[in-house]
C-alpha cells in the first residue's frame, strides 16, 4: 500500500507549483503524463482522475500530503467544470441546457486547462466538432462522473473537520517543507509560526529563506513569505536556520541565524562554516522584514538558534546555541538592535548537556528554559529569574529519528508545543522535516507533563475553545 500511495502522489500533475489531477497514463520511468492511444493525448484527464480521488478519500488515516492531494484535485474539478451545457455522443458541439448537470471534457491541456480532443491521425483540436465523425460518435468526449466524487468530497471534508484526522504534522499547503517553529500570539489573536524552510529533499542544511504562517484555528494556515531571504543580507550567503520573533515598541522583530563558508562533514577540520545572529524589523507580523543593522549582533562566538524572550517589564533577553558558548544570555538594548554589555554565563545547577535551540517562556512567575538535550530530546529547567540560577527538571518529549527544535506558547487557555518531526515523504529518498503540534500540560506545582506525539495533534482546537467558552 505504501508504494501504491507513493506512486499516486508522485503522478499527480503539478502546474506552476499547484497540484491538479492525473493523466490517463503515465510514463513508467519518469511518471510524467504520457500518451495512450492516438486520440488519447498527453493531458489531464477528468474521468480516470475520479478513480484516484475516490481511492484516496477511502483511506482511514490520510497523511497531510494525501489530504492536500485530495483538496487540490477537488479544487481543479471545480475550476474546470462546464455549466449549463450538454453533449450527445456524435454531436459536433455542446448545446445549451440550464438543467443539465455539470459537465467535464474528458481531456484538458496541461498548463491551460483548455478542453482538447484528439483524432486517429494524432491531430489535437480545441473544438470537438473538428474531430472526425467516426471518433465523435465512437468516443465519450465529455463526462458527468466528477459530480458524484465532488459530493463524496463534501462528506469527506466534514469527516476530516469533525475528527481531526491526520492534521499532524500541520498542513501549510503546497508541499512546503518547514522546521524550527517559533510560535507567537500577537495582538490580533491569531497564532503565528516563524519557520526555517527546507529545500525539497535537501542533502544538507543549505537553506535560503524564512517563512511565516498564521491561523485562527491551528488547522487552516495562511502562508506568508518568504518574509526574509539570504539574498536580502550583505553579511551572509547561507544557513537560513531557526528564527525567532518578538513585538516591542510598535514593531515586529525577526531574529535569525545566517552564515558563510562550508561545513565538511567528512573532514570537519576543513570546515570554514561560520554563523551569526541578525535582526530584521517590520511593521507587520508577516513582513516583509528588513535587515535592521546590516551585520550580526556579534561575530564571536559562532551562534545560531536564537530565542528572544521579552519579560513582563519589557526587558528582553536573548538565548542561543553557540560554539563552546551554550547556556549564555544577552540582555538586549531597548530597541532590540544590539546587546547591553557582555554575554553572561548562566548557572545551570551543574548539569549542562550538549544542546541546541533553547526556548524560554514564563508561566505563573516561573521561568522555563527548554531545549533539545543532546540536540534531540526536549527537556527543561526552571528558575525564578530569566537569568537563572536554573534547576533541571527532566524530559518533555523523547527523541524521534533526528534533531528537534520547538517552541511553547499559551493560546486561548491552552498551552501548545510546536516542534518538527523527521518523516518519510513521497518523492524523496530520505526523511524530511515537518512542523507538528501537541497540547502541553502542567502539574499543580508547575512541572511540565511529558508529551507524546499524536496524529491528531491540535486539530480539535476550535472545538476545545468552544467548549471552554
Which domains, ranges and CATH numbers included, belong to the chain?
A: 2-163 (1.50.10.20), 177-468 (2.115.10.20)
- Under DSSP, is residue 418 helix (H, G, I), strand (E, B) or coil? strand
Give me the residues of the chain with pLDDT under 50, please.
164-166
**pTM score, whole prediction:** 0.69
pLDDT of residue 468: 60
Helical residues (DSSP H) of 41-130, grouped into ranges: 46-57, 64-80
The C-alpha angle with vertex 385 and arms to 379 and 387, in degrees rounded to 5, equals: 75
Find out whether the peptide bond into 226 is cis, omega within 30 degrees of 0.
yes
What is the end-to-end Cα distance of the chain in Å, rounded? 43
What is the spatial distance between Cα 190 and Cα 217, in angstroms, rounded to a whole number?
Answer: 8
Task: Single out the residue of 94, 139, 144, 143 nearest to residue 119, CA to CA.
Answer: 139
**388 bridge partner residues:** none
- Residue 124 forms beta bridges with which residues? 118
Per-residue pLDDT, 160? 76
Condensed to tens digits (0 to 9), the pLDDT of residues 167-203 reads 789 988 777 899 999 999 999 999 999 999 998 888 7
> Which helix or strand (DSSP H or E) is residue 137 part of?
helix 133-138
**Nearest 5 degrees, angle CA 124-CA 130-CA 136?**
95
Which pLDDT belongs to residue 303?
97
What pLDDT does residue 469 have?
54
State residue 161's pLDDT score: 65
Per-residue model confidence (pLDDT) at position 441: 98
Q: What was the pLDDT predicted at 428? A: 77
- Cα 4-26-201 angle, rounded to 5 deg: 60
Give the separation between CA 362 and CA 309, rounded to whole angstroms: 9
Contacts 24+ apart (CB under 8 A), 236-239: 236/260, 236/275, 236/276, 236/278, 236/296, 238/206, 238/207, 238/208, 239/205, 239/206, 239/207, 239/273, 239/275, 239/304
Which residue is listed with cell 559562532?
302
Amino acid at each position: 500500500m505504501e508504494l501504491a500511495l507513493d506512486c499516486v502522489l508522485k503522478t499527480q500533475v503539478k502546474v506552476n507549483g499547484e497540484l491538479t489531477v492525473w493523466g490517463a497514463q503515465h510514463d513508467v520511468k519518469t511518471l510524467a503524463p504520457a500518451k495512450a492511444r492516438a486520440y488519447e493525448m498527453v493531458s489531464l484527464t477528468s474521468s480516470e482522475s475520479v478513480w484516484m480521488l475516490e481511492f484516496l478519500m477511502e483511506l482511514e488515516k490520510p497523511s497531510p500530503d494525501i489530504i492536500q492531494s485530495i483538496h487540490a484535485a477537488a479544487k481543479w474539478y471545480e475550476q474546470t467544470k462546464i455549466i449549463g451545457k450538454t453533449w450527445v455522443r456524435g454531436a459536433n458541439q455542446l448545446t445549451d441546457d440550464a438543467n443539465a448537470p455539470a459537465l467535464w471534457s474528458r481531456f484538458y491541456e496541461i498548463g491551460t486547462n483548455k478542453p482538447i480532443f484528439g483524432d486517429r491521425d494524432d491531430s489535437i483540436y480545441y473544438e470537438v466538432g473538428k474531430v472526425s465523425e467516426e471518433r465523435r460518435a465512437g468516443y465519450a468526449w465529455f463526462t458527468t462522473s466528477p459530480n458524484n466524487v465532488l459530493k463524496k468530497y463534501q462528506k469527506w471534508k466534514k469527516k476530516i473537520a469533525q475528527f481531526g484526522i491526520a492534521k499532524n504534522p500541520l498542513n501549510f499547503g503546497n508541499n512546503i517543507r518547514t522546521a524550527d517553529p517559533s510560535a507567537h500570539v500577537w495582538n490580533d489573536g491569531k497564532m503565528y509560526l516563524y519557520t526555517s524552510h527546507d529545500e525539497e529533499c535537501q542533502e544538507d542544511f543549505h537553506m535560503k529563506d524564512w517563512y511565516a504562517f498564521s491561523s485562527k484555528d491551528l488547522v487552516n494556515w495562511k502562508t506568508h513569505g518568504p518574509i526574509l531571504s539570504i539574498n536580502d543580507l550583505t553579511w551572509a550567503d547561507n544557513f537560513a536556520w531557526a528564527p525567532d520573533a518578538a513585538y516591542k515598541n510598535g514593531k515586529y522583530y525577526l531574529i535569525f541565524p545566517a552564515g558563510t563558508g562550508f561545513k565538511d562533514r567528512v573532514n570537519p577540520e576543513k570546515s570554514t562554516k561560520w554563523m551569526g545572529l541578525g535582526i530584521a524589523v517590520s511593521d507587520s507580523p508577516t513582513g516583509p522584514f528588513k535587515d535592521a543593522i546590516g551585520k550580526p549582533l556579534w561575530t564571536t562566538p559562532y551562534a545560531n538558534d536564537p530565542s528572544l524572550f521579552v519579560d513582563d517589564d519589557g526587558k528582553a533577553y536573548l538565548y542561543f546555541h553557540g560554539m563552546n558558548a551554550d547556556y549564555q544570555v544577552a540582555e538586549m538594548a531597548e530597541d532590540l538592535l544590539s546587546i547591553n554589555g557582555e554575554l553572561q554565563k548562566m548557572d545551570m545547577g551543574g548539569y549542562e548537556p550538549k544542546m541546541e535551540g533553547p526556548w524560554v517562556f514564563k508561566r505563573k512567575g516561573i521561568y522555563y528554559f527548554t531545549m533539545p538535550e543532546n540536540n534531540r530530546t526536549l527537556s527543561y529547567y526552571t528558575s525564578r529569574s530569566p537569568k537563572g540560577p536554573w534547576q533541571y527538571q527532566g524530559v518533555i518529549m523523547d527523541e524521534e529519528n533526528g534533531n528537534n527544535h520547538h517552541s511553547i506558547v499559551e493560546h486561548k487557555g491552552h498551552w501548545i508545543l510546536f516542534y518538527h518531526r523527521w518523516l518519510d515523504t513521497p518523492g524523496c529518498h530520505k526523511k524530511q522535516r515537518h512542523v507538528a503540534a501537541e497540547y502541553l500540560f502542567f502539574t499543580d506545582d508547575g512541572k511540565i507533563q511529558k508529551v507524546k506525539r499524536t496524529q491528531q495533534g491540535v486539530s480539535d482546537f476550535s472545538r476545545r475553545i468552544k467548549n471552554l467558552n
